[in-house]
Chains A and B, each alone.
Chain A
Amino acid sequence: EPEVTQTPSHQVTQMGQEVILRCVPISNHLYFYWYRQILGQKVEFLVSFYNNEISEKSEIFDDQFSVERPDGSNFTLKIRSTKLEDSAMYFCASSEAPLGNTIYFGEGSWLTVV
């Protein structure tokens, strides 16, 4: 069964460093997303991406964050100048179509900022 894959599964970084989280969405999917989940809290939407541009972003997704699809398969989330409160599980997800279509999640990248 096709799946969304993410790397790394766990990353520890020092405060102030830049982090890049990588994702390979399901191959025939056109819509890509990043969500995050701080330990013990809700899954929160960060950003959606379609046709090589951001289609929507939350208030969490400020100038510290950026996304990119550098080639035909990868989808990345860059977090600049990490803060302690960025420590969370980051989930990449993809879907064939938008607006309520089924979204499939990757296994997540656990980011710890120290």
Chain B
Amino acid sequence: QKEVEQNSGPLSVPEGAIASLNCTYSDRGSQSFFWYRQYSGKSPELIMSIYSNGDKEDGRFTAQLNKASQYVSLLIRDSQPSDSATYLCAVPPSGGYNKLIFGAGTRLAVHP
């Protein structure tokens, strides 16, 4: 059973701080990794994708991937109250499967 694990939180950070969200995955063959943001009662919204080891930056967001450690993270710089949401890590399993396996998500609360 392929697993994607996240700390459920809540992760509480003050406005302007860096929020660090972590995800581990069990399938060593996975090649692509996605971070989605989900507001309560809403659908997952893609934030970032990452395919190669290292860092990938997009505005205030940085995704970090370490395939050897089977670890992917999302950093949110200058956190804003509007960033308060659940962040979902999603990984397609290896073997040609056309689907995403989601983690349970980490709830982020940014307080003013």
Name A's B-contacting residues (CB within 8 A): 31, 33, 35, 41-45, 48, 50, 55-56, 58, 89, 91, 98-100, 102-108
Q: Closest A-chain residue to B43, C-beta based?
A: A105
* Cα–Cα distance between A105 and B43 once the two chains are bound (Å): 6
Q: In residues 93-112 of chain B, which contact A (Cβ within 8 Å)?
A: 96-105
Contacts of B100 in A (CB 8 A): 35, 43, 45, 103
* Cα–Cα distance between A103 and B44 once the two chains are bound (Å): 10
Can you report 7 residue pairs joining A to B where beta carbons are below 8 Å apart?
A42-B105, A50-B98, A99-B92, A100-B51, A102-B46, A105-B44, A106-B43
* Cα–Cα distance between A24 and B43 once the two chains are bound (Å): 15
Partner of A56, one of B31, B42, B98, B102: B98
Interface size range of chain B in the complex: 20 to 34
Determine how close the nearest CB of chain A comes to the CB of B10; give it in whole angstroms. Answer: 14
* Cα–Cα distance between A50 and B97 once the two chains are bound (Å): 13
Shortest beta-carbon contacts, A-B, top 5 = A100-B32, A98-B98, A45-B99, A43-B102, A105-B43
Contact B43 A102 (CB under 8 A): no
Summarize A's interface: helix, strand, loop or mixed.
Answer: strand
